[in-house]
Chain A
Amino acid sequence: MLHVFTLLLAALLTCPLIAEAQKPIKVGMPMPLSGPPALFGDPATKGAQMFVDEINAKGGVLGRKLELLTRDSKADANEAVRVARELILKENVDFLVGTLTSAEGPAVSVVAKENKIVFIAPIPKTDQLTAADKLHPYVFRVAATTTMEGRSAAEIVAKWPVTNVATMSFDYAYGQDVTRAFVDHLKKIKPSVQIVDQQWPKLGEQDYNPFINAQMAKKPEAIFSSIWGGFFVTYSKQAKALGMFDTIKYNFIGVGEAATPETTKSMGADYPVGIWGNSYDAFYWGETPAHRDYTTRLSKYLKDEYPSSWAIQGYIGMQFLAEAIKKAGSADSDKVAKALLGLTVETPVGPLTIREKDHQANRGQLYGKTVKDAKYPFAIMKPVTYVDPSRFMD
Chain B
Amino acid sequence: MPDPSFVFAQSLSGLTAAMFLFLIASGLSLIFGVLRVLNFAHGTFYMLGAYVAYQAMLWLGPGPGMFWIAALGAALTIALLGGLVERLLFRHLYGKEELYQLLFTYALGLILSDVAKIFWGTQQKSVSRPPGLTGSFSFLGATIPQYNLFVILLGPAIALAFWFVLQRTRVGRFIRAAALDRETLGALGTNVDALYTGVFMLASFLGGLGGALVSPMRATVPGMDTEVIVEAFVVVVIGGLGSLWGTFLGALIYGQVLSFGILFFPRFSIFAVFALMAAVLIIRPWGLLGRPLR
Contacts and interface: CB of A to CB of B under 8 A. Distances in A.
A248 to B, nearest CB: 13
Contacts of A268: 126, 128
A272 to B, nearest CB: 13
A210 B123 contact: no
A217 interface: yes
Nearest to B114: A34
Contact of A237 (B9, B126, B227, B269): B126
Contact of A231 (B219, B260, B263): B219
- How would you classify the secondary structure of chain A's contact residues: helix, strand, loop or mixed? helix
Contact of B2 (A171, A217, A231, A263): A217
A266 B270 contact: no
A111 interface: no
A243 B122 contact: no
Interface stretch (A45-53, A151-159, A196-204, A349-357): A196-204
Nearest to B8: A213
B126 A207 contact: no
Contacts of B223: 35-36, 204
A128 to B, nearest CB: 20
A243 B136 contact: yes
23 contacts: A34-B122, A39-B221, A202-B270, A206-B224, A209-B17, A209-B148, A210-B10, A210-B260, A210-B269, A213-B10, A213-B142, A217-B2, A230-B221, A231-B219, A233-B126, A234-B217, A241-B148, A241-B217, A262-B123, A266-B123, A266-B124, A266-B125, A270-B126
A42 B123 CA distance: 10
A300 B155 CA distance: 48
Contact of A217 (B3, B14, B124, B128): B3
Contacts of B29: none
Q: Which of A202, A206, A270 has the most CB of B within 10 A?
A: A206
Interface residues of A, number: 36
A231 B220 CA distance: 10
Given A171-B267, A234-B219, A242-B145, A213 B124 contact: no
A229 interface: yes
A296 B258 CA distance: 48
A211 B262 contact: yes
Contacts of A200: 266-267
Q: Which of A211, A230, A266, A270 has the most CB of B within 10 A?
A: A230
A325 to B, nearest CB: 32
Q: Which of A210, A229, A267 has the most CB of B within 10 A?
A: A210
Contacts of A269: 128
Nearest to A231: B219
B219 A230 contact: yes
Contact of B258 (A36, A207, A217, A270): A207
A214 interface: yes
Contacts of A237: 126, 216-219
Nearest to A197: B266
Interface string B179-210: 00000000000000000000000000000000
A324 B143 CA distance: 57
B77 interface: no
A238 interface: yes
Given A207-B258, A238-B217, A214 B128 contact: no
A270 B128 contact: yes
Given A38-B122, A39-B122, 15 more contacts: A36-B124, A38-B222, A39-B221, A206-B228, A209-B259, A210-B10, A210-B14, A217-B2, A229-B124, A234-B217, A234-B218, A237-B218, A241-B145, A267-B126, A268-B128
Contacts of B247: none
Interface in A19-52: 34-36, 38-39, 42
A86 B79 CA distance: 43
Interface in B9-29: 9-10, 13-14, 16-17
Contacts of A211: 262
Q: Which of A34, A204, A217 has the most CB of B within 10 A?
A: A217
Nearest to A75: B223
A174 to B, nearest CB: 15
Contacts of B291: none
B219 A207 contact: no
Contacts of B124: 36, 39, 229-230, 233, 262-263, 266
Given A213-B9, A213-B10, A241-B148, A36 B136 contact: no
Contact of A210 (B128, B147, B216, B262): B262
A213 B6 contact: yes
A259 B222 CA distance: 21
Contacts of A202: 270
Contacts of A204: 223, 227
B129 interface: yes
Interface string B111-129: 0000001000011111011
Interface in A228-282: 229-231, 233-234, 237-238, 241-243, 262-263, 266-270
A266 B126 contact: yes
Contacts of B221: 36, 39, 230
Nearest to A263: B124
B143 A243 contact: yes
A36 B217 contact: no
Contact of A213 (B13, B129, B136, B219): B13
> Nearest 6 pairs between A and B by C-beta?
A209-B13, A230-B124, A233-B219, A241-B145, A38-B122, A217-B6
Contact of A206 (B117, B142, B227, B259): B227
Nearest to B214: A206
Nearest to B15: A209
Interface string A80-99: 00000000000000000000
A62 to B, nearest CB: 36
Interface in A341-366: none
A241 B128 contact: no
